[in-house]
Chains A and B, each alone.
Chain A
Amino acid sequence: GESVGLHLPTLSVQEGDNSIINCAYSNSASDYFIWYKQESGKGPQFIIDIRSNMDKRQGQRVTVLLNKTVKHLSLQIAATQPGDSAVYFCAENKENTGFQKLVFGTGTRLLVSP
């Protein structure tokens, strides 16, 4: 069964569309950001990360954009597939502290229709 809140914002797209999931972070001192994907009944899975000295980073079918001015992070998924259906979380961290204490956002549910 689902492991996250019932009132998550939901993004519904058609297979093949591009998806954009947004996240606002809270700590202007955060300098490391990560996107996680959580499928039903599973633990979060790392997708992509970005450090604050960058404003864009690309992976396989995914791109993360960072706007430090407005403390906004986005995840773009190209050619979305039904297997991309999941809850997506952004997480922030302040590095160089000797430990990684991630603060997670509330999550966005992505629903991909065939």
Chain B
Amino acid sequence: DSGVTQTPKHLITATGQRVTLRCSPRSGDLSVYWYQQSLDQGLQFLIQYYNGEERAKGNILERFSAQQFPDLHSELNLSSLELGDSALYFCASSGGLDNEQFFGPGTRLTVL
């Protein structure tokens, strides 16, 4: 158990819908990272937050957004969902800007 929690574990929704994925980092970790893992793209970095501020962006679509709240938990919002958004979404946390990342168990999103 990495100490990072993600909810929900599974999510099934329809195209065009919007969903919110939640992540709670390890106690004391200030950085939160979001990754997408799909069959054809592998594990891809989406976005990083540090102490509430966005720090780095990867291949994140404009339909996706994220935020980190004062209690350091983070949410990833996915809107206008498409079939191709079906994937595993992982959250990771670390203590600082360049420390080891600890991954959560992931949220499996299925878009029908």
A residues bordering B, Cβ < 8 Å?
A: 3-6, 32, 34, 36, 41-46, 49, 89, 95-96, 98-107
Query: Does B7 count as interface, using CB distance less than 8 angstroms?
Result: no
Identify whether the interface residues of B are mostly helix, strand, loop, or mixed: strand
Contacts of B61 in A (CB 8 A): none
Query: Does B101 count as interface, using CB distance less than 8 angstroms?
Result: yes
Tally chain B residues at the interface, Cβ within 8 Å.
Answer: 31
**Stretch from B11-19, B64-72, B102-110 forming part of the interface with A:** B102-110
How far apart are A98's CB and chain B's nearest CB, in angstroms?
6
Q: A5-B39, A32-B98 given. 15 additional CB < 8 A pairs?
A: A3-B106, A3-B108, A5-B40, A6-B39, A42-B105, A42-B106, A43-B105, A98-B55, A99-B55, A99-B56, A100-B94, A100-B97, A104-B42, A104-B43, A106-B42
B residues bordering A, Cβ < 8 Å?
A: 2, 4, 31, 33, 37, 39-40, 42-45, 48, 50, 55-56, 58, 88, 90, 92, 94, 97-106, 108
B48 touches A100 (CB 8 A): yes
Bound Cα distance from A102 to B33, whole angstroms: 10
